């Protein structure tokens, strides 16, 4: 069980900067009672929304290295959302090959990620990330609907190509076609899917691209071609974000995780 302590100072910083800001106004002035009480209320609101207990989240445990985070891209998506929102969290590592009784009781499908929000366990990364954005809107991460599905076919075409045993079955071409559309979108609208700021669609796609990058290099000696430079620079940008580095799986777990699909 690991706790993200790196986030706690952020909460403290956010609170102390609120106090400083309020001090700059008239919390200590003698002649503006109305502004004084307004600012006290603002401080209380700020305190109640930014100082919170760590959120409990069930994550996939590593299958190669005890105590490490495993290779679930849906889990990483949720962790990235928590990191980008500077929310403290407490990870409960679940061995998916040997699920604990208490986990099976609270997780109807036995899947991770699973997070406790308002005293209820919530499953599914789509539902979780949307709920987090509603409950903790700072910063807002939702992607506008017209851009939300950009890149959404990359993962399935990657899996098709990874599993393929026939070089001429069109699966490589299908993946290249999705990567090319994405490359063109980023060239015109980048650096992120929705422009200059990272949003929910990037946090969903990034972990999947990480799997693509590692698994195709290992099992097919394949990498994104140089003819797709915006695709490549997008991957580099996402993979080097602090939040990504902090929440990524070990490459050996990604490789081990895909082995049954490749061999099957
Ligand atoms: N649609 C779900 C998919 C979650 C999912 O498939 N999680 C996998 C791990 S990556 C899992 O828990 N599988 C259960 C198992 O392996 O027993 C989401 O977006 O959260």
* Tens of pLDDT, residue by residue, the chain (264 residues): 344 433 333 333 333 333 333 333 333 333 444 444 444 444 444 444 444 799 999 999 999 999 999 999 999 999 999 999 999 999 999 999 999 999 999 998 999 999 999 999 999 999 999 999 999 999 999 999 999 999 999 999 999 999 999 999 999 999 999 999 999 999 999 999 999 999 999 999 999 999 999 999 999 999 999 999 999 999 999 999 999 999 999 999 999 999 999 998
What are the residue numbers of the active site?
A: 72
Which protein residue has the closest C-alpha to ligand 1 atom 17? 96
Q: How far is the CA of 49 from the centre of ligand 1 (A)?
A: 30
Residues in the chain: 264
Atom index in ligand 1 nearest the CA of residue 94 equals 12
In this structure, how many other beta carbons lie within 10 angstroms of the beta carbon of residue 54?
A: 16
What is the best residue among 94, 112, 247, 260 to mutate for testing ligand 1's pocket, by most ligand atoms within 8 Å of CB? 112
Which protein residue has the closest C-alpha to ligand 1 atom 1? 124
Distance of CA 17 to the CA centre of its chain: 26
- Ligand 1 site residues (CB inside 6 A) read 60, 72, 74, 96, 110-113, 124-126
Domains (ranges, CATH) in the chain? Answer: 55-263 (1.20.1050.10)
Residue 69 — left, alpha, or beta (φ > 0 → left; ψ -120 to 50 → alpha)? beta
Beta strand 2-3 with 89-94 is antiparallel
Which protein residue has the closest C-alpha to ligand 1 atom 18? 124
**Partners of 69 in the β-ladder:** 61
Q: How far is the CA of 96 from the centre of ligand 1 (A)?
A: 9
Cα–Cα dist 18/139, whole Å: 16
Q: Is 59 helix (H, G, I), strand (E, B) or coil?
A: strand
């Amino acid at each position: 069980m690991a706790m993200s302590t790196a986030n706690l100072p952020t909460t403290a910083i956010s609170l102390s900067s609120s106090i400083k800001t309020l001090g700059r106004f008239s919390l200590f002035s003698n002649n503006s009672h109305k502004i004084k009480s307004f600012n006290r209320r603002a401080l209380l609101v700020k305190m109640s929304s930014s100082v919170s207990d760590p959120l409990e989240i069930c994550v996939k445990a590593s299958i190669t290295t005890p105590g490490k985070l495993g290779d679930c891209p849906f889990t990483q998506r949720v962790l990235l959302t928590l990191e980008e929102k500077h929310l403290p969290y407490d990870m409960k590592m679940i061995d998916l090959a040997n699920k604990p009784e208490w986990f099976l009781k609270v997780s109807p499908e036995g899947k991770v990620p699973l997070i406790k929000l308002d005293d209820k366990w919530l499953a599914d990364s789509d539902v979780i990330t949307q709920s987090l954005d509603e409950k903790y809107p700072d910063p807002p991460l939702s992607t506008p609907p017209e851009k939300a599905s950009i890149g959404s076919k990359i993962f399935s075409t990657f899996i098709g190509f990874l599993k393929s045993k026939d070089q001429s079955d069109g699966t490589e071409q299908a993946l290249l076609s999705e990567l090319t559309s994405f490359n063109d979108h980023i060239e015109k609208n980048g650096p992120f899917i929705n422009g200059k700021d990272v949003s929910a669609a990037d946090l969903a796609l990034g972990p999947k691209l990480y799997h693509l990058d590692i698994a195709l290099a290992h099992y097919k000696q394949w990498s994104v071609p140089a003819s797709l430079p915006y695709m490549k620079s997008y991957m580099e940008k996402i993979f080097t974000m602090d939040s990504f580095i902090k929440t990524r799986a070990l490459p050996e777990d990604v490789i081990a995780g895909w082995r049954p699909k490749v061999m099957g």
